Structure 1
């Protein structure tokens, strides 16, 4: 009886020690987790304020002349996987502000070459149905976006196309369902009687206008935007040109600027450093 009582006491002590150790381990893990998430928040705040990795603003960015740099740093493409399904749609006034920003892009000549067609929910679906109808008629000649997955030396089969079509049709409600607006990006060729601008100038000006929209989008924390080149053959088709009201045969659609909602403060894993992301040569 004495021996049995001694074993019970020892077992109880051991159990208490184990419980205490587990408690300390849990507290340590919780503290480490809190520290980790606080560090992540601090990094996000530093990037939003234009600070470097040490939490310090560069000397230039302390000056008001460089106040725009944080907005440029925060510009990024947010893709459909991060869109909020069933979230609050982007307001028309927000889209208007993006277009106002685009208007101030540089261009050469009397008239800007860009033209934007804002597609709401019904028009977006119509455009996607048009895309599918184009490939239904032309997939053998034009190919289709999933065709590059067909092994080399093998022909694209109707079964391959049907598989891609089923996936793409499903994207109308799934992938693109949360999108509030798709803004068609059109470059108009200018036929000035005095001087015809070079096409590369008009393409570059249109791209600058899109960049302005991207930068303006940083002012809305829950706004998600990105420039999609869309499905190339359908994008460049006569059917798409007619749908978008492109009057000149030389006008071009450069894809669509997607506008959706996302949760605020998405993790930003981008890293850009002058050594790898800035190719600049100074000759003085």
Structure 2
């Protein structure tokens, strides 16, 4: 059993870092009663902690599918995107642009998803139900950040641009996590549909590299093991 002397769960470094050690409980005076035992559930909560080291952020980051019903400040996302663009980018093509969808505008994407899912369902009697499921799934996301890349006619440059844009998304993911904001990088089939592209204003010659679902986590999944590096590494002397 560990004990913590800080007064609030919100910025408790022990509460944030305890997930690294597979611990069952901690004692925290910021709970309802002093020294009450707080269970560390599989759905851990993250708190904003700008003192986290990069290694810790990388290892603790998770793909988030369930969000709180709480808006994310637009100015925060703009700032994170600004920093994220400092990704390695050969020839500085900077092929990216972004579309942020939040508030009532989310209905546009939800309706586009409804149309896509209904059209995908082969059973006519199930089309309406399938469309509604797609609508509900997207309408419950607090914010979308569509990362859009210009597709360079030169295939080598296009491949390099895709790699750079992917690095930008990883930057954004880690920066958001540092601020207590979660996301999942989605590449579902509907990003290629005409309805979805039109809803986002995607032009011919542009590719949606990711539809990022962004918000404050309501549940954080437990980590899945990675393959040890010594099983993947070849050293040539």
TM normalised by structure 2 equals: 0.70
The alignment's C-alpha RMSD in Å is 3.2
Q: CA deviation at 1:270?
A: 0.9
Alignment partner, residue 236 of structure 1:
192
Q: Retained in 2: the 8 A contact 1:109–1:197?
A: no
Give the direction of change, closer, same or farther, for the CA distance of 1:113–1:204 in structure 2 (3 Å limit): same
Greater share of strand = 2
Match status 1:185 vs 2:147 = yes
Q: CA deviation at 1:190?
A: 2.9
Q: How many residues of Structure 1 are paired with residues of Structure 2 in the alignment?
A: 200
Whether 1:73 aligns to 2:39 is no
Q: Secondary structure at the match of 1:218?
A: helix
Mapped pair 1:45 → 2:17? yes
Structure 1 CA distance for aligned equivalents of residues 22 and 230 of structure 2: 16
Q: 1:278 to 1:70 in 2, by over 3 A?
A: farther
Q: Pick the structure with more helix per residue.
A: 1
Provide the rounded CA distance (Å) in 2 between the counterparts of 1:211 and 1:36.
33
The separation in 1 between residues aligned to 2:177 and 2:194, in whole angstroms, is 35
Whether 2:183 is the aligned partner of 1:225: answer yes
CA displacement at 1:269 relative to structure 2: 2.2
1:211 aligns with 2:192: no
**Counterparts of 2:210 and 2:236, CA distance in 1:** 38
Question: In the alignment, which residue of structure 2 is the partner of 1:270?
Answer: 223
- Structure showing greater Rg: 1
Counterpart for residue 234 of structure 2: 281
Change (3 A) 1:277 1:226: farther
| Distance in 1 of aligned mates of 2:58 and 2:186 | 20
Which secondary structure state, in structure 1, belongs to the residue aligned with residue 75 of structure 2?
helix
Q: Are the structure 2 counterparts of residues 262 and 131 from structure 1 closer, same or farther at C-alpha, using a change threshold of 3 Å? A: closer
Cα 1:172–1:219, aligned 2, differ >3 Å: closer, same or farther?
Answer: closer
Residue correspondence of structure 1 range 59-208 to structure 2 within 5 A:
67-80=53-66, 83-85=67-69, 87=70, 89-136=71-118, 139=119, 143-144=120-121, 156-173=122-139, 176=140, 179-191=141-153, 197-208=156-167
TM-score under structure 1 length normalisation: 0.59
Extract unaligned runs of 5+ from structure 1: 1-34, 54-66, 145-155
SS at match of 2:210: strand
Q: What 5-or-longer segments of structure 2 have no aligned partner? A: 5-12, 24-52
The equivalences for 1:8-27 within 5 A come to: none
